[in-house]
Amino acid sequence: MNPALQGLFTIILGVGGCIGYFYFSNQFLDKVLFPAKGPNAGRNINRANMVRPWLFLFPALALLGLYLAYPVFETLRLSVSERVSGGGSKFVGFANYSQMFGEPKFWEAMGNNMLWLIFVPAMSTAFGLLAAQLTDRIKWGNIAKSLIFMPMAISFVGAAVIFKLVYDTRPIDQEQIGILNAIYLWFGGDAPQTWLTIPLWNNFFLMVVLIWIQTGFAMVILSAALRGIPEDTIEAAIIDGANPFQIFFKIKIPQIVGTIVVVWTTITIVVLKVFDIVFAMTNGQWETQVLANYMFDKLFRANDWGVGSASAMIIMLLVTPILVWNVYNVRKEMK
Amino acid sequence: MDNIAGTKSGLTWAVHISVVLLVVLWVFPTVGLLVSSFRTADQISTSGWWKSMLPSEQSETLRTAAPSTQVLENGIYVISGNLFERPGDFEISVWGIKSNDIAAYQPGDTADMGDGVSITVQVNGDYRMVSTGEFSGRRGERVFATAKTPPEFTLQNYYNVLFDPANREGMTKAFFNTLTVTIPATVIPILIAAFAAYALAWMEFPGRALLVAAVVGLLVVPLQLALIPLLKFHNDIGIGKGYLGTWMAHTGFGLPLAIYLLRNYMVGLPRDIIENARVDGATEFQIFVKIILPLSFPALASFAIFQFLWTWNDLLVALVFLIDSTGETTVMTKQIVELLGTRGGNWEILATSAFVSIAVPLCVFFAMQRYLVRGLLAGSVK
């Protein structure tokens, strides 16, 4: 079948199926199982109302359980087992982990990931805050914002192509078409550099791509937070003779610390999962490996599910503190 | 606020200039790619895209007309015409007749070519070659000219990438595949999530708080963990790699955000409306369909945009769950990564392909930015 037709069919089936499920299961509950009439009408209504939330929740819970919760445990199991020939697997304890810890590529990925974790959230938040503050009170601020926000819509792969052009290198006797090399030579650089192959620095050139994408996100959230600051605190500071910098750092920032933390942690999670950028630009060569790409390598190139799952568990482990913190906050909020 | 004491006009200027700088910095890379996609391979490789708006200096090898066009004027043989195929705004700065000395003459100079032949070239490329004897041979003489060429853009790249049936690396198939992945993967989770979000927001039942917490927890679970178990699962139930598995995977991965966003929004709806409806005897199903869904439109729209951008731009899920060895189901992101590997230097193809894939999300972004912002503000865990 033509995939487009199949897609259309799936939409109709999916949407129709959802509506049908919700409609008929409710009808069944109200009319057949616990009809709101007869001698037990009152009890039946109460019972129906106890069951109904689970009717509403069932499809979502089933999908969440199957596609997100179950894989966590299955990956955990796979990470401590090994495939045996002929199907099935056997328990090998921490053998996969110790094998992984013995690989220099893994430690390279860990080290790089730590660099990413420090710089990308920090720089995105800083630029985002700067952009939010600067555009806040100028007339064409909204246009500026939407232009800085625009990279959010661009795929990591698209961004990778965009920045590959920025970093492009031509031999010294030809005209440079990568703007970075053009600027470098214009400022007196001696020879065009192949930016993505310089160890350590190339990590930063990759990070720039993600910072470029995430700054818009940080800016939007922080800009809303800045607008939420009570005007009278700022007016009071102005009357007391504070200069604009003091107002920004001593009045505004302390009042939006909570939002800054939220932005920071959200970007941190994006960083931990970063895959496409490295995959498309260097594929982990020249010492730019990161965990997610390392994992993809292990899974689909080396076909080693044990070590692949072990590295996935490492990513999970790094996300866990944020997960716990978020859940804790939501529970506090709901009480 | 602008005229309150403490805001200096100097500072205001500094603000304007910094914002301009910031915007330029952020827009420049994308503009580079966009401009490059409208240039020919030659233009891209001979000059940076930022110079494409200005006329560029190019050295070219040109030829005079063939001897068969010569005319006899007052006893001398003359060939004349314009060096450029399409005479226009060209401006020759220097020219020459030998390949090792291409800047020997100024426009208007006359060069002696030996054997009684001489040529005069004007600034716009008009030339007049005269000879005392008859010109022979079949081809004209070579002239090397360094000329200012006016900026020139072409749509040829887009034609090649999108419509050329001979181009196996074309984006058309991948474009439709991406669309096929995206639309069901955007539409289906919305409904499922909306019902769940309503239950979590407005129905009383034991364990509700726990479920909300679980959804928030699942919000950050890395996709990477799901790859192998689900691939195994898809193989076990017989759907293997294909659209169906991809739609389900995208639906599953999108649900936590969808439920979280929608629940946050629905909780904020006025309690009166819902309770009045309940008092009037509306069933929960009716309340949901007739009151909650229409009122939640902004939240539904913002999630739809998120999910659309995310599935359109996705590479990992497509690589793992969709694209099999035949490559029939390739998506645009995968196609571009492939081009980066095989045609890394062919910027005209790369830039155009990348822009074809970027264009749709950019349009959605600019058209529906308002909802995107609203969704972001509601979706970041407070």
B192 vs A146: CB contact, 8 Å cut-off?
A: no
Check residue B382 and give its pLDDT.
Answer: 45
Asked if A96 has any chain B CB less than 8 Å from its own CB, the reply is: no
Chain B residues whose beta carbon lies within 8 Å of the beta carbon of residue A14 = 184, 187-188, 247
Task: Specify whether the CB–CB gap between A181 and B356 falls below 8 A.
Answer: no
Residue B247 has pLDDT above 60, yes or no: yes
C-alpha distance from A36 to closest chain B C-alpha (Å): 12
Other CB atoms within 10 Å distance of the CB of residue B112: 10
Average pLDDT value for residue range A48-71 = 86
Phi, psi of B92, rounded to the nearest 5 degrees: -75, 130
Interface of A with B in 242-271 (CB under 8 A): 242-244, 247, 258, 262-263, 265-266, 269
Residue B287 has pLDDT above 80, yes or no: yes
Check residue A2 and give its pLDDT.
Answer: 66
pLDDT in tens, B122-154: 877 788 888 887 877 777 777 887 777 777 777
Q: pLDDT band for position B5 (50/70/90)?
A: very low
pLDDT in tens, B291-308: 888 888 888 888 888 899
Q: Which domains are delineated in chain A?
A: 3-79 (no CATH), 98-334 (1.10.3720.10)
pLDDT in tens, A82-111: 777 666 677 777 888 888 888 888 888 888
Check residue A211 and give its pLDDT.
Answer: 92
C-alpha distance from B125 to closest chain A C-alpha (Å): 25
B220 vs A326: CB contact, 8 Å cut-off?
A: yes
Average pLDDT value for residue range A39-43 = 74
Q: pLDDT band for position A122 (50/70/90)?
A: very high
Check residue B3 and give its pLDDT.
Answer: 45
Ranked by mean pLDDT, the top range of A7-11, B53-57, B268-272 is: B268-272
Check residue B1 and give its pLDDT.
Answer: 47
Average pLDDT value for residue range B215-238 = 86
Residue A146 has pLDDT above 50, yes or no: yes
Q: pLDDT band for position A123 (50/70/90)?
A: very high
Average pLDDT value for residue range A7-31 = 80
Check residue A212 and give its pLDDT.
Answer: 92
Of B21-25, B211-215, B325-329, give the lowest mean pLDDT range: B325-329
Where do the structural domains in chain B lie, given as residue ranges? 9-51, 56-149, 160-379
pLDDT in tens, A206-259: 899 999 999 988 998 888 888 888 888 888 888 888 888 888 888 888 888 888
Residue A201 has pLDDT above 90, yes or no: no
B333 vs A319: CB contact, 8 Å cut-off?
A: no
Q: pLDDT band for position A125 (50/70/90)?
A: very high
Check residue B7 and give its pLDDT.
Answer: 53
| Fold classification of B160-379 (topology level) | MetI-like fold (1.10.3720)
B259 vs A60: CB contact, 8 Å cut-off?
A: yes
C-alpha distance from B299 to closest chain A C-alpha (Å): 17
Average pLDDT value for residue range A273-280 = 84
Higher pLDDT, A52 or A86: A52
Check residue B380 and give its pLDDT.
Answer: 63
Of A45-49, A243-247, B116-120, B267-271, give the lowest mean pLDDT range: A45-49
pLDDT in tens, B38-68: 887 777 777 777 777 777 676 777 788 888 7
Higher pLDDT, A123 or A190: A123
Residue A1 has pLDDT above 60, yes or no: no
